[in-house]
Copies of this chain bind each other. A is one copy, B any other.
Amino acid sequence: MNKVIIGVDLGGTNVKTAMVSWDKQVLAKDSRPTNAEGGPEAVMDAIESSVRDLLSQSDLGTEHVMAVGIGAPGPMDWRSGIVFSPPNLPGWENVPLGALMEKRLDVPCYVENDANVACYGEFWLGAGQGTQNMALLTLGTGVGGGLVIFGMLLRGEDGTAAELGHLKMQRDGRKCGCGSHGCLETYASVTGMVRTAVEGLSEGRESILRGQCDDSFNGLTGRMISDAAQQGDSFARWVIEETATWIGLGISSIINYQNPEKVVLCGGMIAAGDMLLDPIRTVAFENSFKVPAERCEIVLAGLGSDSGVLGAAGCALSRFEGGQ
């Protein structure tokens, strides 16, 4: 039989794995807790057991695996497979994840930035199939990005390219975790959306959200805002429109930067649906040049939450075969 490829999506909460055939068929999937609180060894145990279970369900062993691709949170070095110290993986400090997993599984293991593999997944099997020039934005707790240019994943000279959440959108704007101010992430992430809501409520704006959190507005979540907006709360709708405006302005920069065929959106935020997507499109196209705006489609991820795990497999296949 032809060998299979395994993709791993290492998140702070869950480890997802998928087994993919050389001709892009998804053969099996698994998901289990990351056990992040247990530190690197516990997390690698979870990855290893997930991979082995996936294989044994199909009566396969690691000798049937061509390569394993692991999408991991940054900062990290994709060439060496070393994961530095991701905020959501406590106790990790320069862990040679690629080498250690290779030792455990006796299979070539390739480590990649998680947003990059999500982008590659959409390019390989999802909404970006057939394009040569696309961008992906992950709209979650933070804002991540991935880029395919000339049909190749753009990692940049040090693997740090496509940090689209850190485009500067506002001089002296909101303080960002990266040390700068006014980054897209501070407005366009779920965290940024909650911050917009808290600012509005602090200024005395009326909303049903007031009844759902304490006087300091602790406990407010993106989901609450989204639900309130669905129920017609005008303040919550304004918060979503504000967030969409920032995302749209960020996308207009992407359109003017690389004249892409598609911008693909994924992450928890997109659950808000057309209420978010419609104003994103309007703002993005109004603020870009006409020709590239007419070219670019802004679409939701085609693989749902599987962009990362499938993209990790795709990246591993590409690198195993000597591609970039």
- Residues B289 and A167 in contact, CB atoms below 8 Å apart: no
The answer to whether A171 touches B259 (Cβ under 8 A) is no
Binary interface encoding of chain A residues 70-91 relative to chain B, with 1 for a CB under 8 A from any of its CBs, else 0: 0000010000000000000000
Query: Shortest Cβ distance from A179 into chain B, in angstroms?
Result: 8
Cα A181 to Cα B170 in complex, Å, equals 12
List, in ascending order, chain B residues with CB within 8 A of A162's CB.
Answer: 257-258
In the complex the two chains form, what is the Cα distance from A208 to B211 in whole Å? 59
Is the CB–CB distance between B169 and A171 below 8 Å?
yes
The answer to whether residues A292 and B261 also contact, given A150-B152, A168-B169 and a CB cut-off of 8 A, is no
Q: Is the CB of A249 within 8 A of B168?
A: yes
- Give the contacts of A120-165 with B (CB-CB under 8 A): 133, 147, 149-150, 152, 154-164
Closest chain B residue, CB of each to CB of A249: B168
CB proximity of A125 to chain B, nearest CB, Å: 21
- CB-CB contacts of A246-259 with B at 8 A, as 1s and 0s? 10011011001111
Given the known inter-chain contacts A154-B149, A252-B168, please indicate yes or no for A289 contacting B178, CB distance below 8 A.
yes
Q: Which residue of B lies closest to A166 (CB)?
A: B256
A171 touches B246 (CB 8 A): yes
Q: How far is the CA of A168 from the CA of B245 in the complex (A)?
A: 12
A155 touches B249 (CB 8 A): no
Does A291 reach chain B (CB closer than 8 Å)? Answer: yes
When distances are taken between beta carbons in the complex, the residues of chain B under 8 Å from A257 are 147, 161-164, 167, 257
A114 to chain B, nearest CB (A): 16
Q: Does the CB pair B170–A170 fall under 8 Å?
A: yes
Contact among B169, B178, B292 with A156 in the assembled complex (CB-CB below 8 Å):
B292
Q: How many residues on chain A are close to B (CB under 8 Å)?
A: 46
A287 on the interface (CB 8 Å rule)? Answer: yes
A193 CB to nearest B CB, Å: 15
Contacts of A288 in B (CB 8 A): 166, 180
Q: How many copies does the complex hold?
A: 2
A103 contacts partner chain B, Cβ-Cβ < 8 Å: no
Taking a contact as CB atoms closer than 8 A, the residue among B155, B249, B289 that contacts A160 in the complex is: B289
Supposing A149-B150, A171-B249 touch, asked if A289 and B166 sit within 8 A by C-beta, the answer is yes
Chain B residues in 8 Å Cβ range of A286: 179-180
- Given that A168-B287, A180-B286, A180-B287 are contacting pairs, would A158 and B253 also be in contact in the complex, using a CB cutoff of 8 Å? no
C-alpha gap A158/B293 in the complex (Å): 10
| Residue in chain B with minimal CB distance to A161 | B259
Which residue of B has the minimal Cβ distance to A155? B259
Please indicate the chain B residues that have their CB under 8 angstroms from the CB of A98 in the complex. none
19 inter-chain pairs at a CB distance below 8 angstroms, sorted by A residue, are A133-B156, A149-B150, A149-B154, A150-B150, A150-B152, A155-B259, A156-B258, A156-B292, A158-B291, A160-B292, A162-B258, A166-B253, A167-B253, A167-B257, A168-B250, A170-B171, A171-B249, A179-B287, A181-B287
Q: A interface vs B, CB < 8 Å? A: 75, 133, 147, 149-150, 152, 154-164, 166-171, 178-181, 245-246, 249-250, 252-253, 256-261, 286-289, 291-292, 295
